[in-house]
Amino acid sequence: MSGLLLIEQVLNGLQSGVMLFLMAAGLTLVFGVMGLINLAHGSLYMVGAFAAAAVAAATGSFLLALIAALAAAAAAGALIELLVIRRLYARDHLDQVLATFALILILSEGTRWLFGSFPLYLDVPSWLSGPVSLGPIQYPLYRLAIIVVGLAVAGGLGLLIARTRLGIRIRAGEADREMIAALGVDISKLYTMVFALGAALAGLAGALVGAIQSVQVGMGEPVLILAFVVIVIGGIGSIKGAFIGALLVGLTDTLGGVLLPQAFGLFMEPSAATTVGASLASMAIYILMAGVLIWRPSGLFGARA
What is the reported pLDDT for 305? 42
Work out the angle at residue 151's Cα, subtended by the Cα atoms of residues 41 and 304, and round it to the nearest 5 degrees.
60
Work out the angle at residue 162's Cα, subtended by the Cα atoms of residues 42 and 20, and round it to the nearest 5 degrees.
25
| Residue 1 lies inside a defined structural domain of this protein | no
| Residue 303 lies inside a defined structural domain of this protein | no
Average pLDDT, the chain: 88
| Residue 275 lies inside a defined structural domain of this protein | yes
Residue type at 64 in one-letter notation:
L
| Residue 28 lies inside a defined structural domain of this protein | yes
What is the reported pLDDT for 93? 81
| Residue positions counted in the chain | 305
Bigger pLDDT: 172 or 304? 172
Q: For the chain, what is the radius of gyration of the CA atoms?
A: 20
What is the reported pLDDT for 86? 87
| Residue 5 lies inside a defined structural domain of this protein | no
What are the CA-CA distances from residue 114 to residues 47, 70, 104, 131 (Å)? Answer: 11, 19, 15, 35
Model confidence band, residue 1 (pLDDT cutoffs 50, 70, 90): low
Q: Mean pLDDT throughout 66-84?
A: 95
User: CA 59 to CA 27: how far, in whole Å?
Assistant: 31
**pLDDT tens string 37-46:** 889 999 999 9
| Residue 195 lies inside a defined structural domain of this protein | yes
Bigger pLDDT: 134 or 75? 75
**pLDDT tens string 273-302:** 888 888 888 899 999 999 999 999 888 887
How, if at all, do strands 131-134 and 137-140 pair?
A: antiparallel
The CB-side HSE value for 71 (13 A sphere, CA atoms) comes to: 9
Model confidence band, residue 199 (pLDDT cutoffs 50, 70, 90): very high
Domain residue limits at 148? 10-123+142-295
8 Å CB contact between 32 and 237: yes
**pLDDT tens string 247-281:** 999 999 999 888 888 888 878 888 888 888 888 88
- Position 180 pLDDT exceeds 80: no
| Residue 302 lies inside a defined structural domain of this protein | no
Q: Mean pLDDT throughout 100-111?
A: 93
- Position 176 pLDDT exceeds 80: no
Number of domains in the chain: 1
This model's pTM is above 0.75: yes
8 Å CB contact between 254 and 12: yes
